[in-house]
Amino acid sequence: MRYALLIGGLIVAANPAHADPRAAYVTMVLQAFAAKVECPGTDLVYQDLVQRAQDMHLPDGTTEQVRKAIAYMHTGGKMGEKQADDLMTEVAIATQTTDLDQRRIGMTTWCSDQKARLAGYIRSKE
């Protein structure tokens, strides 16, 4: 487990500096989708994710590319589409860190934390 985290850290460190905002965005999107799936009564505000990508000056279509990469990775290729290797790596790292956080603090606490941290991107279902 330590080695996986070390390798993940090295991959992040090896990425060019311009990739950092996208990596942070990928993690945020993955956590928003995870909250929708894992946290009862939670929904996703897709358009706000698109707006956040624009605010971060990410290229048009980034949200959709990230969504497709997450779907592809989390369904074993049955949904979504494989994206560029660097994006797929960022999704893998975000998945690992999110999974680790969920196990470390428990799903109830994780869901509560996400509702506060991702307010505006996720909301309670009505």
The pLDDT tens digits for 72-90 are 999 999 999 999 999 999 9
CA distance 57 to 70: 21
Cα-based distances in Å from 124 to 57, 110, 114: 28, 15, 12
CA distance 22 to 103: 25
The pLDDT tens digits for 6-48 are 455 545 544 444 548 999 999 999 999 999 999 999 999 999 9
Q: Higher model confidence: residue 59 or residue 2?
A: 59
Using CB atoms within 10 A of its CB, is residue 21 exposed (0-12), middle (13-18) or buried (19+)? middle
